[in-house]
Amino acid sequence: MTLSGLLVQLLNGLVDASSLFLVASGLSLIFGVTRIMNFAHGSFYMLGVYVAYTFVSHMGESVGGFWVAIILSSLVVALLGALIEIVILRRVYRAPELFQLLATFSLVLILQDLALFIWGPEDLFGPRAPGLTGSIEILGRNFPQYNLVMIVIGPAVLGILWLLLNKTRWGVLIRAATQDREMVSTLGVNQAWLFTSVFALGCFLAGLGGALQEPRIPANLALDLESIGTAFVVVVVGGMGSIPGAFLAALLIAEVKALCIALGTLHIFGIDFPMSKMTLVAEFLIMAIILVIRPWGLLGKPQAAARNDHSAEPPLRPSLPIFKWCTAALVLALLLVPVFEETFPYAQIILVEIFIAVLFAASLHFVMGPGGMHSFGHAAYFGLGAYGAAILVVTWKLPMELALVAGPLLAVLGALVFGWFSVRLSGVYLAMLTFAFAQIVWSIVYQWDDVTGGSNGIFGVWPSDWLSSTTALYYLTLSIMLAGILILRRILFAPFGLAIRAARDSDLRADAIGVDVKRVQWVAFVVAGLFGGIAGAIYVFSKGGISPEAIGVGRSIDGLVMVLLGGVQTLFGPIVGASIFTWLHDSVARETDYWKAVLGMIILLIVLLFPAGIVGTLSHLWHWVKHHILLQTKKEEASK
Amino acid sequence: MQETILEVNGLNAFYGRAHILFDVGLKVRKGEVVALMGRNGAGKSTTMKAIMGMLSRTQGEISFMGNPIAKSAPHVISKMGMGFVPEDRRVFTDLTVLENLEVGSQSEREGAPHWTAEKLFELFPNLGEMPHRPGGNMSGGEQQMLTVSRTLMGNPYLVLLDEPSEGVAPVIVEQMANMIMALKKQGLTILLSEQNLQFADLVCDRAYVLENGHVRFEGTMEELAANDDVRRNYLSV
Amino acid sequence: MSLLTIDNINKAFGGVKAINNVSFELPRGQLLALLGPNGAGKSTCFNMLNGQLKPDSGSIKLEGVELVGRHPRQIWNEGVGRTFQISATFGSLTVLENLQMVLLSRDKKLFRLWTPAASYYKKEALVLLDQVGMADQADRACSVLAYGDVKRVELAMALAHDPKLLLMDEPTAGMAPKERNQLVMLVKKMVIDRNLSVLFTEHSMDVVFEHADRMIVFARGELIADGSADDIRNDPKVREVYFGSGKSFEAA
């Protein structure tokens, strides 16, 4: 590696830092004031690229026209953001953290299909910036002029934001609201418009970040999730809500990545370390390290406890006999399904999918409901279980039966490591760390061609002969799912189940009666990882293989949606949620090209209308009816 | 007799499924200092928050300067000239003293005392000595003064003062009492919640006594002093 | 020998001394009240005693065993129970389960994954609840209890592992006078019956003067007085910083 090469890489790092900062600063600003982790922030960035593509194509031939187009694009995105804030987000500010994340995630789905509808599925290469198409020479290497402009824009935006926040009344109000929104409103400030303005500014920054990329990268539909992951990392590393922190973090992450590229492949002790391949993992490793050393990020402050009002949850009680009988009847019905194979040929296949989803959702529910830890990376354990089993069968030639048992052990190993770090944090930080670990697993799987098959995945993983029929696999999956659910339920009623609920309700009290809270939570993580891994292992055999898409962020989010759809407060909720979600997913996807948007709308409706989830809502309804009938009878008795 | 500035009728409030206030009614006239008394958990803070529009579930009528406000948001109520000082201070710790005051500032209001940072610094000389200090680096007593000042910057007609003497040493309590009497002289109307009878005696004209969310007594401080039953049953004397 | 010996502890937060060279002792079977205005360092002192905070210097010994540097759960293991100013119980568990949790923790059975928790220590938990008069509400969730009842459950939990020392932070705040007296009398009974030592903070002077065996007073992080009710009442320093000079604030 030459000095000039290193220098150019470091300069490239500065360019990336600028664009990272633009997106992350908006995200951080929005989180600081509204306390919403806006999953759709990457989508606004993506829209910025697309809108800029359209505008610059039409009016960007002159230097002035280009920059006007960039600003206009950012304004369009800001306007869209304001509209979304007013119509949707205003309704979820009081909802629990998880519901907010879910609402914004539904926006990701909807906005992605909106972009698909307007701009189509092809990558769009936009025109370059007039007047900046050339390059300058640095130590004999060419460096694009446009990149120099990018380097300057980051610090310039930081400066403007600083002035805005510290030297204007609006800025003072924003900073006050970041700390205590209720007080601000009792002092006569209309929060609603404050929030809208912050959200619009945040979206403007995301849009600007995207628009500025227009000459550099093609507009495409993967930009949203790609950028949101990194933006989350930047915000968390910098400290939530801290703009200078976001700048520092963007710089740190971009430069570390640049160094990885500059180093190329290192030879240490005769082993090749392909450092340039580290870039996908680098940011998540940085985040994991920073969060363990400084749990609140570089310049962040400890956050108030997350608003998960689990402590008002009713105690777990043994099931009523009627419920037990209903369950038995349901199981009997499921056992009889293969008998009607001819009438419903598709039933077993969709049910196998549902069973796997149920087990996955139940294992996630275990850690996030009773455990109170909101994992945003449960796909990691599903993935480790799946790849564990697949590798054992294909590479090691082990029989399926053994792989089904040994595969999930890889998930346990993962949960042991990831859980150890994760339980040291709480709230949004924990959620983001679990997300980071899942991304690491995904990146490793995606890049480690020799072992995991890289982006192609591993295929030809079929069950043993005696299990190869649809019906045999159906019964196998059904029994594993039932056993899993019963065991998880049993654990929740055992002393350990009491301990995890106690640790969630009050870690202060738990600590003061000798409970090692972190250890309890760690074990809970591992238990959840085990069952998530089992779900992954059966999945491999039901599909005949596994690929990175199946274990990506989408899987983690699906799990969350399932649990919340059913209701996080009940044990039965995730089962219902997973069933309905899988069925919906399957039937909607067959009907339309825009299934993501439809799914997004459904999620949004549920979040806005049934915040307690389906089972939760039904049980509230039941209590309400009981209460009113009881009241009625009492009144009648009294009148007699 | 002065005009009624605040009137509450049949106020009920809920936290989740719990019913906290039951048909609370009270009146505050212009220029009065009225005490809302009762033990912890009697519903004093809840009453104040309900009046200020901070609770999501309330029923009943609240009128302020003749306008119904029961369904209004806190910022609307604040803009009408009602101030609120919470019991747990809640200064903006990252903001300086001046910035804290800036958040609270509203335009001048006819018939209400007009406050500026300078005037407040005269009332609270301690604050005047540290205009650029972040709220988080101040002592408890100074923070309390800042919270009061911040609310006064809105030039309110009426201030709801939640437990000014709660949990502070008697020496500080005396300072708070002096401040309230000074504000009263300026023409400010005050509704304050209080557990400490001696304190209320010192600064208030009238009192309402709450117990378990019900108003159990209303009358002048003299009447309250004469009523042993109420004092024994509902106050921590 | 004293049960608890606190020797010259110090604690500063960002340069501000919260606790300055405080030393005192607590013998077995004594009900000791810790008084002082807000911000005097009472809570800081409590949090150091149960291990939530680590003193900058000094030593805290329980029967000769050094507690400084230990984790709250280890200090609990040494026989120190605690109640909090804002009661901390497990809201989503029933009253009975709250007690079962403590007993399971005492006997290190928290990691059992199979046998239902309901079958552990039911009788013992009910006896403990009966002591504080909460047995009839054993099956209710802690989150729906009245405030005073939560405080009683918390007391039962703090006593469940038969501690030698009980730390109580404002045990009667928010309770009616009658309830208040009952609770303190209950604690007093434990002090006598079990030779338990109790250190508690309290704002209600009538409670303190009626029940405490001895009292110590903090002001601005320093211990300014230590003695019987009469000593404290007549201490000029205490009158100045705590009770105030105004006649209307004459203590009970």
Q: What is the value of ipTM here, to two decimals?
A: 0.92
Q: Of A69, A73, A43, A45, nearest to A56 (Cα)?
A: A69
Is residue B189 domain-resident? Answer: no
Q: How many domains does chain B have?
A: 1
pLDDT tops 90 at residue A44: yes
- A598 vs A113, more confident: A113
Q: What is the structure's pLDDT at A98? A: 75
Q: For chain C, what are the domain ranges?
A: 4-79+163-249, 94-160
Q: Which whole-number Å values give the CA distances from A204 to A70, A184, A219, B24, in the listed order? A: 11, 24, 18, 48
With CB atoms and an 8 Å threshold, state whether C37 touches B173: no
Q: With cut-offs at 50, 70 and 90, classify the pLDDT of residue A28.
A: very high
Helices A145-167 & A243-263, crossing angle to 10 degrees? 160
Residues in chain C within 8 Å Cβ distance of A504 = 92
With CB atoms and an 8 Å threshold, state whether B171 touches C244: yes
Mean pLDDT, residues A408-425 taken together: 93
With CB atoms and an 8 Å threshold, state whether A187 touches B104: yes
Q: Of C222, C178, C207, C185, nearest to C21 (Cα)?
A: C222
Closest residue of B to C145, CA-based? B18
Residues 6+ apart with CB under 8 A from B128: B121, B122
Residue type (1 letter), A182: E
Q: Which two tokens stand for residue B82?
A: 């009602």
Is residue B121 domain-resident? Answer: no
Q: With cut-offs at 50, 70 and 90, classify the pLDDT of residue C199.
A: very high
pLDDT in tens, B82-96: 999 998 778 998 899
Mean pLDDT, residues A180-191 taken together: 92
Angle at C74 between CA C71 and CA C79, to 5 degrees: 130
What's the DSSP call for residue B134?
B
Q: Report the distance separating Cα C149 and Cα C133, nearest Å.
A: 9
Q: C4-79+163-249, superfamily in CATH?
A: P-loop containing nucleotide triphosphate hydrolases (3.40.50.300)
pLDDT in tens, B124-143: 888 899 999 998 888 777 88
Q: Of B85, B94, B55, B84, nearest to B72 (Cα)?
A: B55
Phi first, then psi: what are they for A214, rounded to 5°? -50, -45
Q: What is the structure's pLDDT at B17? A: 59
Residues in chain C within 8 Å Cβ distance of A311 = 90-92, 143
Q: Are B193 and B162 in contact (CB under 8 A)?
A: yes
Q: Considering chain A, what is the average pLDDT of its residues? A: 89
Q: Report the distance separating Cα B163 and Cα A524, nearest Å.
A: 43
Q: Which two tokens stand for residue C195?
A: 């030779």
- A596 vs B140, more confident: A596
Residues in chain A within 8 Å Cβ distance of C141 = 314-315
What's the full length of chain A, in residues? 640
Q: What percent of chain B has pLDDT over 90?
A: 57
pLDDT tops 50 at residue A505: yes
Q: Are B147 and B91 in contact (CB under 8 A)?
A: yes
Strand pairing class (A141-144; A265-268): unpaired
> DSSP E strands: which ranges in B71-136?
82-85
What's the DSSP call for residue B200?
H
Q: What percent of chain A has pLDDT over 90?
A: 55
Q: What is the structure's pLDDT at A3? A: 81
Q: Report the distance separating Cα B233 and Cα B50, nearest Å.
A: 25
Q: Report the distance separating Cα C8 and Cα A209, nearest Å.
A: 57
In A589-615, which positions are buried (b, 16+ CB within 10 angstroms) versus exposed (e)? eeeeebbbbbbbebbbebbeebbbbbb
**Greatest CA span in chain C, whole angstroms?**
64
pLDDT tops 80 at residue B168: no
Q: Which two tokens stand for residue A308?
A: 């998960």
The distance from CA A521 to its chain's CA centroid, rounded to whole angstroms, is: 21
- A160 vs A346, more confident: A160
Mean pLDDT, residues A318-335 taken together: 92
What's the DSSP call for residue A312?
G
Q: What is the structure's pLDDT at C249? A: 38
Q: Report the distance separating Cα C74 and Cα B63, nearest Å.
A: 56
Radius of gyration over every alpha carbon of chain C, rounded to an integer in angstroms: 19
What's the full length of chain B, in residues? 237
The distance from CA A8 to its chain's CA centroid, rounded to whole angstroms, is: 34
Q: Which whole-number Å values give the CA distances from C75 to A503, A617, C78, C80, in the listed order? A: 18, 44, 5, 6
Q: What is the structure's pLDDT at A238? A: 92
What's the DSSP call for residue A220?
-
Q: Report the distance separating Cα C53 and Cα B53, nearest Å.
A: 39
* Cβ atoms < 10 Å from Cβ of B137: 13
Lowest mean pLDDT: which of A29-38, A273-282, A554-563?
Answer: A273-282
Q: Report the distance separating Cα A517 and Cα A387, nearest Å.
A: 31
A183 → closest Cβ in B90, B102, B106 = B90
Q: What is the structure's pLDDT at A640? A: 61
In the sheet with B158-162, reading across from the earlier edge strand, the strands are B82-85, B158-162, B189-194, B33-37, B206-211, B214-220
Of A492, A498, A500, A521, which to mutate for an interface test with C (greatest number of C Cβ within 10 Å)?
A498
End-to-end CA distance of chain B: 32
Scan residues 90-109 of B and list those with Cβ closer than 8 Å to A.
90, 92-95, 99-100, 102-104, 106
Q: What is the structure's pLDDT at A245? A: 94
| Neighbour subunits, B (≥3 Cβ pairs < 8 A) | A, C
Strand pairing class (B58-64; B206-211): unpaired
Q: Which two tokens stand for residue A209?
A: 């970040």
With CB atoms and an 8 Å threshold, state whether A180 touches B102: no
With CB atoms and an 8 Å threshold, state whether B169 touches C244: yes
pTM of the model: 0.81
Max mean pLDDT range (A264-268, A629-633, C55-59): C55-59
Q: Report the distance separating Cα A188 and Cα A195, nearest Å.
A: 14
Phi first, then psi: what are they for A100, rounded to 5°? -65, -45
Q: Are A418 and A547 in contact (CB under 8 A)?
A: no
Of B171, B174, B235, which to mutate for an interface test with C (greatest number of C Cβ within 10 Å)?
B171
Q: What is the structure's pLDDT at B237? A: 42
Q: What is the structure's pLDDT at C38? A: 63
Residue type (1 letter), C243: F
Q: With cut-offs at 50, 70 and 90, classify the pLDDT of residue A435.
A: confident
Radius of gyration over every alpha carbon of chain B, rounded to an integer in angstroms: 17
pLDDT in tens, C78-127: 999 999 877 789 999 999 999 999 999 999 999 999 999 999 999 999 99
Q: What is the structure's pLDDT at B110? A: 87
Q: With cut-offs at 50, 70 and 90, classify the pLDDT of residue B99.
A: very high
Q: Of C138, C185, C191, nearest to C3 (Cα)?
A: C191
Q: Report the distance separating Cα A225 and Cα C113, nearest Å.
A: 39
pLDDT in tens, A131-152: 888 888 888 888 899 999 999 9
Q: What percent of chain C has pLDDT over 90?
A: 57
Q: What is the structure's pLDDT at C144? A: 84
Is residue B207 domain-resident? Answer: yes
Q: Which whole-number Å values give the CA distances from A121 to A72, A115, A220, B88, in the listed order? A: 24, 9, 7, 55
pLDDT tops 80 at residue B39: no
- A523 vs A589, more confident: A523
Phi first, then psi: what are they for C69, rounded to 5°? 90, -5
Which structural domain range is residue B208 located in? 1-79+196-237
Q: For chain A, what are the domain ranges?
A: 3-234, 350-551
| Neighbour subunits, C (≥3 Cβ pairs < 8 A) | A, B
3-class DSSP assignment, residue B14: strand
Specify the CATH number for the domain of residue B4. Answer: 3.40.50.300
Q: What is the structure's pLDDT at C245? A: 42
Q: Which two tokens stand for residue A400?
A: 């399926």
Q: Which whole-number Å values give the CA distances from C156 to A158, A505, B49, C138, in the listed order? A: 55, 18, 34, 12
Q: Are C44 and C17 in contact (CB under 8 A)?
A: no
Residue B21, H or E segment: strand B18-29
With CB atoms and an 8 Å threshold, state whether B79 touches A188: yes
With CB atoms and an 8 Å threshold, state whether A187 touches B56: no
Lowest mean pLDDT: which of A562-566, B72-76, B98-102, C242-246?
Answer: C242-246
Q: Which two tokens stand for residue B112?
A: 């209400």
Residue that is written with structure tokens 């009050």 in the block: A506
Mean pLDDT, residues A602-618 taken together: 79
Q: What is the structure's pLDDT at B18? A: 67
Q: From the CA of A455, how many Å to the nearest CA of chain C?
A: 39
3-class DSSP assignment, residue C14: coil
pLDDT in tens, A374-413: 898 999 999 999 999 999 999 999 999 999 999 999 999 9
- A331 vs A553, more confident: A331
Is residue B126 domain-resident? Answer: no
Closest residue of C to A488, CA-based? C113
In the sheet with C222-227, reading across from the earlier edge strand, the strands are C80-83, C165-169, C197-201, C31-35, C214-219, C222-227
Lowest mean pLDDT: which of A344-348, A488-492, B124-128, B136-140?
Answer: B136-140
DSSP A377-416: -THHHHHHHHHHHHHHHHTS---HHHHHHHHHHHHHHHHH
